Amino acid sequence: MKLRVLVLICALAVAITISAVNFYFRKSWYDVAVTFSATITTSFVFFYYLIEKYIVAKIKIIYKLIHNLKLGKDLKDAIGDHVSSDPINDVEKDVQDWARQKKSEIEGLKKQEQFRRDFLSNVSHEFKTPLFAIQGYIEALQDDMDDPVMMRQFLDKAAKNVDRLSYLVKDLDEISKLETGEIPINYSKFKLNELIKEVIESLEFKADQYKIKLVFKEKYDEPTMVNADREKIQQVLVNLIDNSFKYGKEGGTTAVRIYDLHDQVLVEVTDDGIGIEEKYLPRLFERFFRTDSSRSRQIGGSGLGLAIVKHIIESHQQTINVRSTEGIGSTFGFTLQKVKQSAFPVLPVLKS
């Protein structure tokens, strides 16, 4: 339709021009009318034939090529039998869609490149700090140090930095395998409250060192069955509770709570520590992200604990979130698939 209108406009322009010239020389309206009619008809047919043959036909070929390539056909098979009734508009639409897709891909590549740069910069920085420390202590020991007490202190500090490097390498390897799916999720049904009690017992000594009280109330004695990877959920709990120690306060409390959400279980780890500014919350699960770099490096850790937690929970097709108020404390919560009690039939007791 648009093509015919365009051809008609061209023919009309030619007819008006020729008719105006004819009227200028002959001064006859009859001749102008005949000339106008003949010219517009001839011009329309001529222009339509030329545009249809040399332009529209080529556009149809291009459209068929684009359409079939979008369907995933090979280039040699791309020229198929599909022909649109309005190839000009369809080609325009397909080109716009292609442009939007490429723009989105380019933006995605830019984000990936920026992420790669940030990641390499963070890794480099995290490795430099302990490496330089180890190098400094070794050089000091090589200078014929005679004080055995000082030598022991330097060796202990070097050993701590070696441990930090080991944690970094181990956590980097683990998060890489989690991202690529190399570490499978081994689902099993287990009692979540028993696992939490085990984790709390294993961390009691560390809690005493930080002078923080661990709380898991007796009301959770009723078995709460979940379907998940027990070992990985244990790691999640350890990481979250350990994180609450690092950013808690002396004499404070870390509490673990369970909430029934019908077909899910919500687990929350709450502390009454320094809290987190709201602007930092969206980035909290990023690798190596620290709200306070100086404090984070003093208390140690790889900077990957929360990122690992996020990957483990998302590998279970579940969600994790955080809410925090600066100066009041933070709460990390994650969901797990609940196993309904009906899924565990009670075997009848046979009477003798």
Burial class (CB in 10 A: 0-12, 13-18, 19+), 130: buried
For residue 129, which of 291, 287, 297 has the smallest C-alpha distance?
Answer: 297
Does the pLDDT of residue 136 top 80, yes or no? yes
Band the pLDDT of 334: cuts 50, 70, 90.
Answer: very high
Is a pLDDT exceeding 80 seen at residue 21? no
Q: Which domains does the chain have, with CATH numbers?
A: 2-85 (no CATH), 119-180 (1.10.287.130), 189-342 (3.30.565.10)
- pTM of the model as a whole: 0.58
Residue with more model confidence, 42 or 69: 42
Percent over 90 (pLDDT), the chain? 24
Average pLDDT, the chain: 76
The answer to which of 6-20, 76-90, 105-119, 200-214 has the lowest mean pLDDT is 76-90
Cβ–Cβ < 8 Å for 313, 319: yes
Res. 140: pLDDT tops 50? yes
Compute the average pLDDT of residues 232-254. Answer: 91
Lowest mean pLDDT across 275-284, 292-301, 311-320, 338-347: 292-301
pLDDT of residue 261: 87
Angle, vertex CA 75, rays to CA 72 and CA 81, nearest 5? 80
Question: What confidence tier does 258 reach under pLDDT thresholds 50, 70, 90?
Answer: very high
The residues near 317 (Cβ < 8 Å, ≥ 6 apart) are none
> pLDDT (tens digit, 9 = 90+) per residue, 152-164?
888 888 888 787 7
Nearest alpha-carbon partner for 290 in 278, 282, 280 = 280
Model pLDDT, residue 294: 46
Give the distance, in angstroms, between the CA of residue 28 and the centroid of all CA atoms in the same chain: 77
Joined together, the tokens standing for residue 351 give: 């009477």
Confidence of residue 73 (pLDDT cuts 50, 70, 90): low
Task: Identify which of 199, 228, 221 has the alpha carbon closest to the alpha carbon of residue 339.
Answer: 228
Task: For residue 229, report the phi and psi dihedrals to the nearest 5 degrees.
Answer: -85, 105
pLDDT at residue number 79: 45
Q: What is the pLDDT of residue 351?
A: 45
Would you say 239 and 312 are in contact if contact means Cβ atoms under 8 Å apart?
no
Confidence of residue 120 (pLDDT cuts 50, 70, 90): low
Quote the pLDDT of residue 212. Answer: 93
Q: Which of 134-138, 265-269, 298-302, 321-325 has the lowest mean pLDDT?
A: 298-302
Mean pLDDT across 45-49: 64
Q: What is the pLDDT of residue 187?
A: 93
Read off the pLDDT of residues 191-210 as tens digits, 9 standing for 90 and up: 999 999 999 999 999 999 99
